[in-house]
Structure 1
């Protein structure tokens, strides 16, 4: 008998919509908190102090120094790639050091009092513009201890973005890592409301540029280290002023693939309802006395934030890392964060898992045919055994011992979110590391909307509605998606839904109905077991000349099966019978890929524009299309190659690693025009 993950609510569903569905064990009542008395985020920390005061909860590693090495790299000189010697700098890190619940309560109480001494009142706003770190959370909880609101901005957000967030939200305190201080100094003349700047730094001290920025910032703001504000509060204690459930906790600025970032108003109950929803189904899979999670995704993204809050509430230790120090290859004279912490749970976006998959398969494909056959066969066998509930862990010690050791050997499951994950990536991670569960969420719902259970062996879905929300699908007639077929735009309702966009009532009314339904903009369908499958985003459905629609994000996830590419951005419009694409291939990998494809070249710099290499990559992508059963209208007709890696730093990706389509297209406009000409399209 198959498992049913969600159930319809009786007497719901009308014309143009499916019946409303809820998680199967919370069908009678949506979950709005973990415990009756935990109605705000700071109360979750106090709960931890009451129940386990001396337990470790937040860990960090000190930077002990740096190690420099000379390495050969390819660099463009006069338009050509040449081999040059570059100096690479690696961090040397110490072991994890932990703070207990009691220590964190004491520290955040004093730091919160320090903010009050600076003149910030309850409901005043503190901007956090810093990378993921223990200091990030200490600042947030300190603000919550005095009912202050936290305004978040990605540390990779450009100058215009962070200026927009500060000025629109009217923040009084800007909290930064020392590395961000020069950015603040450059935009200082245009900052309207900030009065105080508070910063933290690594054990090795602030970089020289930050020291110079501090002198400039002091011309207009009072500038303090985090420890100075903590000591100020310790010397001038005040009682904690805890927020109400419906008070705003976060003004979280979405990264946005187009337009200015939007400030999403998230209340304390919204976050705690998500934490309660997680606890409702994850409890059987967690050892709260032993488990530890690695936190390295941006805390300014709702996914990382609500997971941290749940861990702090429930007793799971959180060790902080960075994308630049995760692996042993990225540090020197120490282990990377993963092997040092040896986590039981990790989060990642699809781009992280795509990179891990490519690295694994590159190593496997360098081995003999027998090893390759054993590895690929074992991936299929382990997934098949798991799907039928049969023993499969015996393969770990025989085939997957090396891949699991690279992540510390203790992973129970990993979580992917932010965009669709490719089925083959999920299958490989399931077998070679641990079960991968796919989740679905958005900032406007305080994070989580649905997630697979760790023991769910199925693919191509994002699980059942979280116990904190109910969900239905609504007709999208212009794209031929109808609720009668179990398909439509995903609408959700529940205590985790946000309270609106800051200073944008019109957009709020467009996004949330009068009776509380959040229109996600995503297209979904139900599986027979009540799981949700994301088809695509409504705005990324493109009508071709045939009148039929294709789903760009879904197709991009499929094409990432190709080992040739690092990333891909599909382009389509109503003039076209088939899509084309800009393909991102790292210039440091391009020669190796050309050798693999048997393409001759005199200079690697020629390859990105080589017709033979472009044809080889296109042929591989078209093979991927055939292998995955794509229709002709979904098969790429042309591609061009961008050999510059896309990243948030060059504004091709959002900080959440989603494509910035307009930016990618405009940066490659000549290549887009060339493809259109090849396809016989008029300008």
Structure 2
């Protein structure tokens, strides 16, 4: 089970003396590391690269189970339980696959560049993903993850920008690569993670794999499967080419809400510093089991898996379908559950409806149990209660397999009431982290046993933060009672820069190594940071008030369980905000049916659309958003005055979302411009004109 290092909750970070400047606070560091930042793994300082770390783990944990997946039975059409491979077995496959890829590149494809070239990886998490990435570390290649949800335009850009010639892909993406091969002139080979040796059921018939290989040959692209490359590597083994600490291990492309993705250059030193930093708060052990479902193209998922690898923990991959995740969790019974607010909000909504909002005796008992445990937690007495856990919460814990000790959330804000409820419901630590791709998802985190919700914790052991004035938004480091400003981060976890992009690199990292995040925050008297605004995507309303729509969306989305997706719109010619809301069917249907006196079911798409258009339902949802806004301490001008309900969800396919599920604001505004115009016309028609 994870082991925690306990720190003083009343003094979590300190300001380094003599570091203040006229336009910024001093440098804030974790209180226990005020004298020096952590830049390596302190119990193993000899480990400088991901290659070193892998060799260390293989030696130390050779015969321990490491990577697990649920194999699919083609005959029965069902998934089995988790099947495991040890560190030693995975290492043998890494050596074989890495040798095979090197032989393919040099001998078969005739590429004179023997190392430092980019290998593309396109799939959800699975053992072959790890093997592909670790092969890069063993042979000094650069891994480039392609998002499993990326649209064709972004894939095309990244493959060409990183000059990728070989892509390792799950079989479901191969057709897309071949279909767009005319736009991907660098691609010379595709390696399928899935077997391509399917038998031909009818004499003379052509198998799917034969079609793919023939299609590839027609396009001038060789198509192999993973087993073939491993076999090739066993026939032609290669010596490792160990990288150095400052060399780039991976290009991690960030999906911007506007413009093309930017390739963050993440070095081996960045990864090592991140592992060392994270182990200064929570230590994984050989007994830990991680459920891996976060996209490995995103840095948060990759960092967590890498820490587990160093620690000798087991990593069980989900099947690739988020709708089946809870079934995978029940089968795996993890001790560590990394998540994102979007998923935790849905879990929270289901738990609330089945406990404190349940009718009769169940609801009455649940409300009493929750109130008792929340009061205990607020008093610093922890998240356990002998009576109420036995009566109620031990059953709730089984929803995540019953063994979860830690839930980690990050990537977006989450409401403090959700955090508190999950802590007492699952009787475990729920930690909230803050970071970004450029900083290896590592900047701040809440401490174990934290009893005051609503902040993102203190700086990590390897990071220091400062708040820089943003005069245009009226945020200053001299503000009272707490300093406010843009959060800047420095440490060995901060990336090297953007690949082939000096302009954006200079705008993001200054000459002293500080990374400007674009997030606005304050630091309180305990040394805890809270994000309150966003420097980008801001605009003024007609009366001159600055609006940060993403902040409002996060507050409303976290506190109103009727929302699946939300877009908040404002205009410098208007004095109010309006919103586009995609409702969450599970919670919206009973709510809307009650308002409209209807009985629409989940499979009635036409009925759901009619509920969305019902004026009474719109008005009721607007009131719910008002309640959520008050709970989230929004200011008067930040409340939305009208809502348009729609079943047209924002997605990557319709270009209204990035692959990391961020709203593409211009595209959404354009798509719904008619509805937005109608909402403002209604507001202006019903708002009394002030007398002169």
**TM-score higher than 0.5:** yes
Is the CA contact 1:569–1:582 (under 8 Å) kept in the aligned structure 2?
Answer: yes
**1:448 corresponds to 2:442:** yes
Shift in Å, 1:215: 2.5
**1:31 corresponds to 2:25:** no
Shift in Å, 1:535: 1.3
- The separation in 1 between residues aligned to 2:518 and 2:512, in whole angstroms, is 17
Pair 202,228 (structure 1): closer, same or farther in 2 beyond 3 Å: closer
**Aligned with 2:539: secondary structure?**
strand
Pair 365,393 (structure 1): closer, same or farther in 2 beyond 3 Å: closer
Match of 1:461 among 455, 462, 474: 455
Query: 2:465 aligns to what?
Result: 471
Shift in Å, 1:453: 2.1
Map 1:297-446; keep pairs closer than 5 Å: 297-322=294-319, 324=321, 327=324, 336-364=327-355, 367-390=358-381, 392-394=384-386, 395-433=388-426, 434-446=428-440
Query: 2:230 aligns to what?
Result: 230
Query: 2:216 aligns to what?
Result: 217
What per-residue deviation string (whole Å, max 9, x for no partner) do you get for residues 637-671 of structure 1?
11101213334444433332222222322222221
Query: 1:618 aligns to what?
Result: 622
Query: 1:667 aligns to what?
Result: 671
Query: 1:70 aligns to what?
Result: none
**1:111 corresponds to 2:109:** no
What per-residue deviation string (whole Å, max 9, x for no partner) do you get for residues 579-600 of structure 1?
2111111467654331233545
Shift in Å, 1:488: 0.5
**Aligned with 2:355: secondary structure?**
helix
Is the CA contact 1:45–1:101 (under 8 Å) kept in the aligned structure 2?
Answer: no
What per-residue deviation string (whole Å, max 9, x for no partner) do you get for residues 410-445 of structure 1?
111111111111112112211212332111111111
What per-residue deviation string (whole Å, max 9, x for no partner) do you get for residues 256-302 of structure 1?
2222111111111101111110011113xx4x121111010100000
What per-residue deviation string (whole Å, max 9, x for no partner) do you get for residues 227-246 of structure 1?
11111111111111111000
Query: 1:79 aligns to what?
Result: none
The 10-residue stretch of structure 1 (563-572 or 342-351) with the greater mean CA deviation from structure 2: 563-572
Match of 2:155 among 149, 156, 162: 162
**Aligned with 1:367: secondary structure?**
coil
Query: 2:118 aligns to what?
Result: 125
- The separation in 2 between residues aligned to 1:673 and 1:213, in whole angstroms, is 49
- The separation in 2 between residues aligned to 1:529 and 1:634, in whole angstroms, is 29
- The separation in 2 between residues aligned to 1:361 and 1:647, in whole angstroms, is 28
The 10-residue stretch of structure 1 (274-283 or 197-206) with the greater mean CA deviation from structure 2: 197-206
Is the CA contact 1:65–1:204 (under 8 Å) kept in the aligned structure 2?
Answer: no
Pair 2,324 (structure 1): closer, same or farther in 2 beyond 3 Å: closer
- The separation in 1 between residues aligned to 2:461 and 2:175, in whole angstroms, is 44
Shift in Å, 1:526: 0.6
Shift in Å, 1:554: 2.7
**Aligned with 2:526: secondary structure?**
coil
Pair 94,190 (structure 1): closer, same or farther in 2 beyond 3 Å: same
Query: 1:558 aligns to what?
Result: 555
Pair 654,381 (structure 1): closer, same or farther in 2 beyond 3 Å: farther
- The separation in 2 between residues aligned to 1:323 and 1:156, in whole angstroms, is 12
Pair 210,614 (structure 1): closer, same or farther in 2 beyond 3 Å: farther
Q: What's the TM-score, normalizing by structure 1?
A: 0.90
**1:291 corresponds to 2:288:** yes
Pair 527,370 (structure 1): closer, same or farther in 2 beyond 3 Å: farther
- The separation in 1 between residues aligned to 2:441 and 2:448, in whole angstroms, is 18
Pair 297,175 (structure 1): closer, same or farther in 2 beyond 3 Å: same
Unaligned runs of 5+ in 2: 1-7, 107-113, 200-205, 601-606, 686-692
**Aligned with 1:336: secondary structure?**
helix
**Aligned with 1:482: secondary structure?**
coil
**1:569 corresponds to 2:576:** no
Shift in Å, 1:211: 6.0
The 10-residue stretch of structure 1 (356-365 or 509-518) with the greater mean CA deviation from structure 2: 356-365
Map 1:580-599; keep pairs closer than 5 Å: 580-586=578-584, 590-599=588-597
Pair 93,540 (structure 1): closer, same or farther in 2 beyond 3 Å: same
**1:63 corresponds to 2:49:** no
Pair 428,209 (structure 1): closer, same or farther in 2 beyond 3 Å: farther
Is the CA contact 2:348–2:422 (under 8 Å) kept in the aligned structure 1?
Answer: yes
Is the CA contact 1:182–1:209 (under 8 Å) kept in the aligned structure 2?
Answer: no
Is the CA contact 1:170–1:192 (under 8 Å) kept in the aligned structure 2?
Answer: no
Shift in Å, 1:383: 2.8
Shift in Å, 1:323: 5.5
Is the CA contact 2:151–2:652 (under 8 Å) kept in the aligned structure 1?
Answer: no
- The separation in 2 between residues aligned to 1:577 and 1:376, in whole angstroms, is 41
- The separation in 2 between residues aligned to 1:309 and 1:205, in whole angstroms, is 33
Is the CA contact 1:587–1:644 (under 8 Å) kept in the aligned structure 2?
Answer: no
The 10-residue stretch of structure 1 (6-15 or 301-310) with the greater mean CA deviation from structure 2: 6-15
- The separation in 2 between residues aligned to 1:622 and 1:138, in whole angstroms, is 49
Query: 1:82 aligns to what?
Result: none
Is the CA contact 1:325–1:336 (under 8 Å) kept in the aligned structure 2?
Answer: no
C-alpha RMSD over aligned residues = 2.4
What per-residue deviation string (whole Å, max 9, x for no partner) do you get for residues 32-64 of structure 1?
221212111122111111222111121111122
Higher strand share: 1
Is the CA contact 1:146–1:240 (under 8 Å) kept in the aligned structure 2?
Answer: yes
What per-residue deviation string (whole Å, max 9, x for no partner) do you get for residues 356-375 of structure 1?
11222233367324422332
Q: What's the TM-score, normalizing by structure 2?
A: 0.89
